[in-house]
Amino acid sequence: MLRTFAAIGLLFGFTMGQALAGEHAGHGDEKAQLKGIVKNLLKDNDSFVKSHKGSYFKSFADSQHPRATVVTCSDSRVHTHALDKTPDADLFMVRDIGNQISTAEGSVEYGVHHLHTPLLIVVGHAACGAIKAASGDYAKESETIKRELDSIKIAKGGDWMEGVKTNVNNQVEYAMKKFAEEIKEGKLTVVGAVYDFRNDLKQGQGRLVITNFNGETDAAKLKANPLLSMK
């Protein structure tokens, strides 16, 4: 009996030792991963510093004069450099889940009223998680996330991309009501677009597809609009 208890004790001790070792290894892996991420960020920033001299920052060192206020999703797949080759001091970026104006209204208003950007562009994107969540049941999410999803007004169980486009149109409509005076005076144009990194709209992978121009959503009219031409 004593030998049995001893054997059980040794087995228990060995098992616990393995579990603890695994736990410590897990923490070690997490620390190593974190160190790698920070190291990569610092390395990339160091490369940026070395390739950009003081003259690069001179025009915006003390003030900013962006050409556009951009409301887009927090999703890491929405690349700023896909919208603007040189976004520094050019785009006033406002990001939140579902590229919504109401959940970041102060920031959007700052871009339009204080920075006087002539363009406000709302950019939705392919495979948006917020749109997928809002079209389904998100009752188990935290209160803060639910609060942000509640303001996305799209059909339940609908097509994913249609939900993305509907949300963009809703945001444009919201902006046009909020900034009606600026639009009337010709000081502001509101544009809605979809950044399509999956080529769901069949216009090229990574294409920024304009879907709304000051409330106009007809594809033929948008195509004919000279302001939307690259020529």
DSSP SS3 for 7: helix
- Whether 119 and 188 have beta carbons less than 8 Å apart is answered as yes
For the chain, give the number of residues. 231
Distance CA 82, CA 196 (A): 10
What is the CATH classification number for the domain harbouring 65?
A: 3.40.1050.10
Residue 101 and residue 78 share a domain: yes
Q: What is the pLDDT of residue 200?
A: 97
Q: Provide the number of structural domains found in the chain.
A: 2
pLDDT along the chain (231 residues), means of 10: 40 46 66 94 96 95 97 96 94 98 98 98 98 98 98 97 98 98 98 98 97 97 92 77
Domain boundary among 32, 51, 70: 51
Distance CA 132, CA 192 (A): 19
Q: What is the pLDDT of residue 28?
A: 77
pTM assigned to the model: 0.86
Residue 126 and residue 47 share a domain: no
Q: What is the pLDDT of residue 231?
A: 77
Residue 35 and residue 114 share a domain: no
Residue 3 and residue 64 share a domain: no
How many Å separate Cα 57 from the centre of its chain?
25
Distance CA 112, CA 118 (A): 8
Residue 223 and residue 161 share a domain: yes
The two three-digit tokens of residue 13, written as one number: 């001790």
Distance CA 196, CA 210 (A): 11
Residue 54, φ and ψ in degrees, nearest 5: -60, -30
Domain boundary among 27, 51, 75: 51
Residue 107 and residue 65 share a domain: yes
Residue 21 and residue 113 share a domain: no
Q: What is the pLDDT of residue 203?
A: 96
Domain that holds residue 86: 56-228
Domain boundary among 30, 51, 72: 51
Q: What is the pLDDT of residue 24?
A: 55
Using only C-alpha atoms, the chain has a radius of gyration, in whole angstroms, of 25
Residue 223 and residue 131 share a domain: yes
Q: What is the pLDDT of residue 26?
A: 66
Residue 164 and residue 124 share a domain: yes
Residue 127 and residue 143 share a domain: yes
Residue 14 and residue 83 share a domain: no
Residue 78 and residue 161 share a domain: yes
